[in-house]
Amino acid sequence: MVGKRSGEGFVAHKAKLVNALSRTLAERLLLMDFTMGRKGLLGYIKALSGSNVVKIVPATNGSASEAQAAVKRLKVVCGACTSYLEDMAWIGDKTPMTLAEIRVCPDNSVKPNLGSIELSEAINRVLPFTSKDEKRPVFQCVLFRAKEGKLSVVASDGFRLAEVTLDYDDGEGEVLVHKDELRGIANALRKAKRVRLGFEASGDTLDGMSLIIDTEAIRYHWRGADGQFPDYQKLIPAEFNTVAHLDTIEAVKAVYSFRALSDNPKDYPIDLTIGEGKIVMANPDEKGEATIPADTDGQGSVRVDGRYLAEALKACGGMVDFKLVNAYSPMLFVNDGYQVLVMPLITPEAKAAMEQARQAEVPAEAEKKPKRSRKAKEPVAVA
């Protein structure tokens, strides 16, 4: 935090102190060997009046009575208001065990390599696609991967995958960060003026990495989680047979109408038929149908989970390109550096088509294999 040292304490602008505390993710703060609850300290600083400057120093014997001097405290001065804060103030049994240290320096110079808003939005757009299953810890994490001038922020729950790609020319690295540790970081980054993201060795293992995000007020540090994120790029089809360009707002409204028809709002399949300048949505039980205008190229059909479809469309927003290979391959939603991959629901017709495609691949692979030629037996020399 930017401020001025004052002996063992510091002097800072009240607004800057409030801004830094509001962007801190931890619930316990370490301030000059004093531990305090973040929410309580933030509320207290906001309530101070009489000056725009706050001075915080350790309490000394000369500024308190003998009984008070024996207690470990911090002295807070703001205008005509002077108060003393004890160690462990605003910390209860239910206060989460997350800790951050407040450091004060005259100037925290940050050379930005990403926009604060674009990084905030990238994290916000992939977090909903992380897994809630504790038995799949890797899918509970967000992947940050910098490679070949791009930063990819990726999350998946095994059925869906979301990826945001940003321009990044500050080296390479790869870190998995658990979704719970990223809670609140998107809102905090929105308040930052400068952001710099980087990777560094964690020091725990030879191949361990940590993710560092520096702002003008706070440094965020996450140690990489254990595990290996799957090679998701192999799942993204290289070619598509059907493409539709559509408005997500109208499509989401249509999907919600099918949810209202379903007995289970969390499980309602929808059949999509693409072609001839439109997308036709239909209930498999023939309870309803909706037609969405779209710019289409090619024809195709697929069955998808309605909840997954709505979430993918909402995450993309605006106009989106919907790309389809066939009824059993992953479908892709693309919108300006952001893409969501969704697995389809396999119908009997799709299963038959998939089996037929597999059988067609077997003879093709057999033809590619070179035939073994039998070598003629050489005569054995007789002595």
Integer Cα distance of 54 and 21 in angstroms: 14
For tokens 């003879």, the residue is: 363
289: which strand partners? 282
In this model, does residue 32 exceed pLDDT 50? yes
pLDDT tens-digit profile of 230-266?
999 998 988 999 999 999 999 999 999 999 988 888 8
pLDDT tens-digit profile of 284-298?
988 889 999 999 999
Work out the pLDDT band at 1, boundaries 50, 70, 90.
low
Q: Which residue has the higher pLDDT, 367 or 214?
A: 214
Report the pLDDT value the prediction gives residue 382, as an integer from 0 to 100.
Answer: 37
Work out the pLDDT band at 20, boundaries 50, 70, 90.
confident
pLDDT tens-digit profile of 138-148?
999 999 999 99
Integer Cα distance of 227 and 206 in angstroms: 15
Tokens of 46: 């906001």
Integer Cα distance of 301 and 219 in angstroms: 49
In this model, does residue 8 exceed pLDDT 70? yes
> Angle 38-47/14-22 helices, nearest 10 degrees?
150
Tokens of 169: 């020319």
- DSSP per position, 12-56: EEHHHHHHHHHT---SEEEETTEEEEHHHHHHHHHH--S-SEEEE
In this model, does residue 149 exceed pLDDT 70? yes
Rounded to two decimals, what is the model's pTM?
A: 0.78
Report the pLDDT value the prediction gives residue 245, as an integer from 0 to 100.
Answer: 96
Q: What are the CA-CA distances from residue 142 to residues 85, 122, 182, 200, 328 (Å)?
A: 38, 11, 9, 17, 27
Give me the mean pLDDT over the 296-325 stretch.
95
